[in-house]
Chains A and B, each alone.
Chain A
């Protein structure tokens, strides 16, 4: 590069403009993809939700808000909505708390550090179908080692996935176990970003471990926690695969006790071909996720001054 230097300010400006233009060009490709593959179908779902759109009918009449009215009277949808909320309320705090505890412990150890990290990450890369299969055997009322253990403790064996009262929690436990690996990696990254000098300074000032955690670790992990809450909530609100595979012949059962909104949409759309009604549920789910996410971003993100 032997170009004579133009005036400093101008060079910076044109360079920046050039870089910006390049960035926009590169961003445009995924944007177009996003528009066609994601955004347009979303809009068409909005339109579809106003029609009695059965895939196997000749005519698809416009019905206005009829699908939405049916939605409010649909007990099964109500149940799916309550279940989905329960999954989220159980799953998100559980995986964040467990993830943080395990990450803090992993951060302390030195020997076999890589092995332990790999072991904790393994569930996340295990195929969901395989994990669901193993889960069914683990929690089998008849043969499962979990019940064997309970009997050994003189506790009555439980029905777990076969019980309408326990199936949801058992399913949530599988999801937490699977997501834990990813959660731990997030926290380890967050922890490694906190400068050691803060802890050293705190120690000199006489702070104990608990104080150091609440005054340094917790506030500085805030962005990681917010990210985890937001992405975790979205993934629980869209829960599907685990639920399908844990009770394949009565999906969402027994008695709809593990049914999620996403699975209900799928059954209405692709089991019973009522695309219009399924689209209406999709629109409602979309609005719920949007509202919750905006709320979380608004109220969970805080700036901490040390």
Chain B
């Protein structure tokens, strides 16, 4: 009996001394991301038996609220997944710790990560890092292209218009097939801001990101060009299919010739589309063919102020694991997002991939907008586009209004 007791005592002591540090990890609910993360956590725990990771997920629509409301309460995760556009707000709130430079040297990050990742550097410090990045490209329906007698996907915007006009069927507002799945509140407003404004010779923002500079001739031309896709060239209408992913759902249903969407949509389209489809890079203007642009975005993992002492050490280990080459490759294969590291993304096999290739080719010239109030800045643009499409406002006036609205938001942040 005594022996048994000693044994039990010994056992419990042993387990107590090896008591693992438990970290909480938060991300939003997205099936392939959650299951990939579960696998990665298992792998990480096997390599680090003294660390346990608890993954908690929340619906996408409620995620930013959930994170934000955990901040003043001093609760929430140790390691958190955030949209890069939310970083300034969270860094300002003191929610994230700067990454320790001995584990994540700034110069190394600068030189090894995709250029767009620099958006996450604030006051010379990195506060979070991505595993993967995303860019935009054109998804096109090869069957509809063939029916319309088009051999090649468009390389220029002019070709996109010509192709779209051959594919579109019906007249507004009773289209049956769209040439181009226009959707301002999808990815299009990013295209307009970060791609078209630059291609027409403008700059959307000042270098420091504190001033909206698209209220210019280039901005007005870009707005005119984009809205003309609907009003003048009649390639399509927004909200063709009702619902949250209107343009993508309609594309998957085989009712749209082309859409602009992110690499995050690859798996959804792969699973849904029952026809032959392809991917090609965003078009350029025939008059300015060397100005290639793209909008890049990414989700980062950061360490919150909740992680201290042992937990901080464990969080650093976990973050290193999440940004390792091995994890990035795993993420590509299982989630379908492009590796954030330049060398991995430069893999020749990957560049030749018909689906991933165009997204990866866009990495060097992809810019990421510095958001300080993503919801507010998005609204300014969506409303500006809609005043032209729905109210017939002059594109130049709409751009002026958007710039004024967005500047107000930027000023209240940088004051």
Contact = CB atoms under 8 A, between A and B. Distances in A.
Interface of A: 55-58, 133, 136-137, 140-142, 147, 151, 157-159, 161-164, 248-250, 253-256, 267, 270-273
B3 interface: no
Interface in B161-179: 170, 173-176
A55 B68 contact: yes
B207 interface: no
Contacts of A163: 390
Could you say which interface size class chain B belongs to?
35 or more
B174 A56 contact: no
B386 A136 contact: no
Contact of B71 (A55, A158, A255): A55
Interface of B: 64-65, 68-69, 71-72, 89-90, 92-95, 170, 173-176, 185-186, 237-244, 246, 373, 375-376, 382-383, 386-387, 390-391
Contact of B243 (A57, A58, A151, A248): A248
Contacts of B186: 249
A53 to B, nearest CB: 10
A136 B242 contact: yes
25 contacts: A55-B72, A56-B90, A56-B93, A57-B93, A58-B94, A133-B242, A140-B241, A140-B242, A141-B174, A151-B174, A159-B173, A161-B239, A162-B239, A163-B390, A164-B391, A249-B185, A255-B386, A255-B387, A267-B375, A270-B65, A271-B64, A271-B376, A272-B375, A272-B376, A273-B68
B174 A250 contact: no
Contacts, number: 84
A137 B238 CA distance: 14
Contacts of A272: 373, 375-376
A84 B178 CA distance: 35
A301 B390 CA distance: 44
* Residue among A56, A141, A255, A267 with most chain B CB within 10 A: A56
Contacts of B174: 141-142, 147, 151, 157
* Residue among B241, B242, B243 with most chain A CB within 10 A: B242
A254 B390 contact: yes
A164 B390 contact: yes
Contacts of A141: 173-174, 237
Contacts of B382: 250, 253
